[in-house]
Structure 1
Amino acid sequence: MQYNYLGKTGIKVSRLCFGALTIGPLQSNLPVKEGAGIIRRALDAGVNFIDTAELYQTYPHIREAIRGRSGETVITTKCYAYTREGMEKSLSTALKALGRDYIDIFLLHEQESELTIRGHWEAVERLLEAKEKGVVRALGISTHSVRGVRAAAAVPEFDVIHPLVNITGIGIQDGTVEDMAAAIAEAGRAGKGIYGMKALGGGNLISDTRQAFDFVLSLPGLAAVAVGMRTAAEVDYNVAVFNGLTPDSRVQRLVNVQSRRLHIEDWCRGCGQCVERCGSGALFLDGDRARVNPELCRLCGYCGSVCPEFCIKII
């Protein structure tokens, strides 16, 4: 497994990062022991980097996966807190749920621009205090926008940026994939540690997995790429590709036959909360129920977190 340093943080991470969203309630909803087993399979293969968030509800899976393991496991988490008190609560929750006395990387979740960063500055100040005390090793933002990457690159206090990037530009809120690649390169030159997300477009690019991975792995400035994994076959396939190897033919078949889509149950009553939550504009109301434009959907599953009827899932 190849390892890189995240910018100037001094944190060394595997180029393949385990994206924990897919094992949690918003997507596959794996039981804790089963999800922990998938994570451990990746850790045993040399992956030392896990990406999660308060929203994903996967802290128990990660805690179980790293229990009793020797060696460093780098964990990133994120939250939407914008006040000092909110960040204090999120930080405390993460430490307790993960069973740790520090968080490697703590990010402001889904920042769009310099304006949203400014609106979250109280939370940033709390993270800076935590960093001074060694409770947080590095901080920054996750973002689906080119403007967000460029804004974060200009903030001296930020160490890490976690941008959305893939070969077709699925999910980028503003600009093109070329714009995003240029912003990532600029941020890398500014010394920021950068690791990408949604290399497979949330699952939309599974049929062209190898080409999609080759693209992100060729981008200057990306120290690592977070990839959602929910099966042993996906772990084995991704580890092989990130190691520069050709995956076993059986594993390739298992991965290539998988497809994913956003499913909305018939009992949807059209309250519109998912439409408001969707950051990619993929959801819309059609009469008395919500529907999805699959060409815009990045299959993040965040819409499911606000559905009062629990009728949205990734299948």
Structure 2
Amino acid sequence: MRGSEATMKQVSLGWHGPMVSEVCFGSLAISPLQGRVSFAEGVRVLRYALEQGIDWIDTAEIYANYSQIAQALQYHPEVRMVSKSYSVTAEEMSESIERARKELNRDVIDFFLLHEQESALTLKGHQGAWEELMKAKADGRVKYIGISTHAVDAVKAGALLPGIDVIHPIVNRQGLGIIDGILEEMLEAIRFASELGIGIYAMKIFGGGHLATHPEEALDFITDIPWIQAMALGMSSVEEIDFNLNYLAGQEISEELRRSVTYRERKLYIADWCQGCGRCCEACPQSALSLEEVVEGGMVQATVEAGQCVLCGYCGRVCPHFCLKIV
């Protein structure tokens, strides 16, 4: 089977948000951060996804793939864009928005989010950036604003932010990747935000690959939650797109297609030339990295707790010696 045989389900993203496809294309999977595919192959995969009816794309400043997305969008100007930034001040956020507009060739960015907020305290620290997002929404540079997060507390606190339209939380059937609580607490926080009219689209539903051996169960879990309208799926092959979209459309999945997307175990590789600077540990949102002594009384190197790692690849971006990559 090739291609989705049914029209992509459209959902309303919150009370006041737009109608979008149930699936958002999570572009981290084709970005340099993860290195699964080449630039050109990523463009091809993304174009295929758009041809199947996916009508919005999730990216972030840190993914460093604006030019890749812009190339794929040449023939799809109607597709909506989501970007995210770690900006703290109003000036930084203004620069982030302008960078996205320029590099994506868009006068307006459909959604712009504060990236990886952790708590009410974190949101307070980013107040200047949030105020700039509200200003950008008012003057038309951005249509909808929100936050992305791996934290229960940030979902609850974010739901009370003035002007917020959307929250992008980590949620999957085992609660993998939640940094400050358990699955039940995250679902309750999501319910709270959704009942305030905020749009919710889930991230990491396959738990960074840890739950991809049973993809049907991972997808069913999300679609069964009434407070989640949509999901961002990281896909780096045509076969993954076909599997996910056909399954969600209720189409029969051939055994050949299922075998083609059977999970191949991936892991974070740390090269033996690691200098132990610790930058990766600071960048890891899951606290999956730490420094360990490799020579008694002397050299330390980074090590990873595989069960906590969600294979986001953020650590590799900050490594000055290119020691970390997902393989």
TM class by shorter chain equals over 0.9
1:208 aligned partner = 214
Distance 2:252 2:236 in 1: 20
Identify the match of residue 199 of structure 1 among 183, 196, 205.
205
SS in 1 for 2:269: strand
RMSD value, Cα: 1.2
Alignment partner, residue 131 of structure 1: 137
Q: Are 1:181 and 2:187 counterparts?
A: yes
SS of 1:310's partner is coil
Deviations 1:99-136 (A, max 9, x none): 00000000000001111111111111111111112110
Stretches of 4+ aligned residues off by more than 4 angstroms: none
State the number of aligned residues: 314
**Could you say which residue in structure 2 is the equivalent of 1:69?**
76
For the residues of structure 1 that align with 2:17 and 2:236, how far apart are their CA atoms? 29
Query: Secondary structure, in 3 states, of the residue corresponding to 1:17?
Result: strand
Residue 109 of structure 1 aligns to a residue whose secondary structure is strand
Distance of 1:193 and 1:257 partners within structure 2? 30
Structure 1 match to 2:249 = 243
Q: Give the 3 Å change call, closer, same or farther, for CA 310–9 of structure 1 in structure 2.
A: farther
Say if 2:274 and 2:302, in contact at 8 Å, map to a contact too: yes
Kept in 2, the 8 Å contact 1:76–1:106? The answer is yes
Alignment correspondent of 1:96: 102
Give distance in 2, aligned partners of 1:82 and 1:313.
Answer: 28
SS in 2 for 1:256: coil
Structure 1 partner of 2:307? 295
CA distance in 2, matches of 1:181, 1:285: 33
The answer to whether structure 1 residue 45 and structure 2 residue 57 are counterparts is no
Question: Which of 15, 37, 58 is the aligned partner of 2:22?
Answer: 15
User: Which deviates more from structure 2 when the two are superposed, residues 293-302 or residues 238-247?
Assistant: 238-247
Once structures 1 and 2 are overlaid, which stretch shifts more, 241-250 or 99-108? 241-250
Give the counterpart of 2:11 among 4, 21, 30: 4
Partner amino acid, structure 2, of 1:314: I
- 1:165 is aligned to 2:177: no
CA contact (8 A) 1:210 1:241 kept: yes
Partners of 2:14 and 2:232 in 1: how far apart? Answer: 16
**Counterpart in the other structure of 1:86:** 92
Q: Which structure's CA Rg is the greater one?
A: 2
The offset of 1:15, in angstroms, is 0.8
CA contact (8 A) 2:9 2:21 kept: yes
Letter in 2 for 1:46: G
- Among residues 146, 156, 160, which one is paired with 2:162 in the alignment? 156
Q: Structure 2 unaligned runs (5+)?
A: 1-7, 294-299
Whole-angstrom CA distance in 1 between matches of 2:154 and 2:250: 31
**Distance in structure 1 (CA, Å) of the matches to 2:110 and 2:204:** 21
Q: Is the 8 A contact 2:24 2:57 kept in 1?
A: yes
* Contact 1:28-1:230 at 8 Å conserved across structures: no
- Tell me the equivalent position of 2:119: 113
Task: Give, in angstroms, the shift of residue 281 of structure 1.
Answer: 1.5
Say which SS state the counterpart of residue 37 (structure 1) adopts: helix
Secondary structure of the structure 1 residue equivalent to 2:291: strand
Q: Which consecutive residues of structure 1, in runs of 5 or more, have no partner in the other structure?
A: none
Letter in 1 for 2:13: L
Q: Does 1:54 align with 2:61?
A: yes
Kindly provide the amino acid, as one letter, of the partner of residue 173 in structure 1: I
- Tell me which residue corresponds to 1:264: 270
Q: Aligned pair in 2 of structure 1 residues 94, 29: CA closer, same or farther (>3 Å)?
A: farther
- Per the alignment, residue 196 of structure 2 pairs with 190
| Counterpart contact for 2:17–2:165, Cα < 8 Å | no
Q: CA deviation at 1:44?
A: 0.8
Letter in 2 for 1:301: G
Q: Say which SS state the counterpart of residue 220 (structure 1) adopts.
A: coil
Matched residue type, 1:34: E
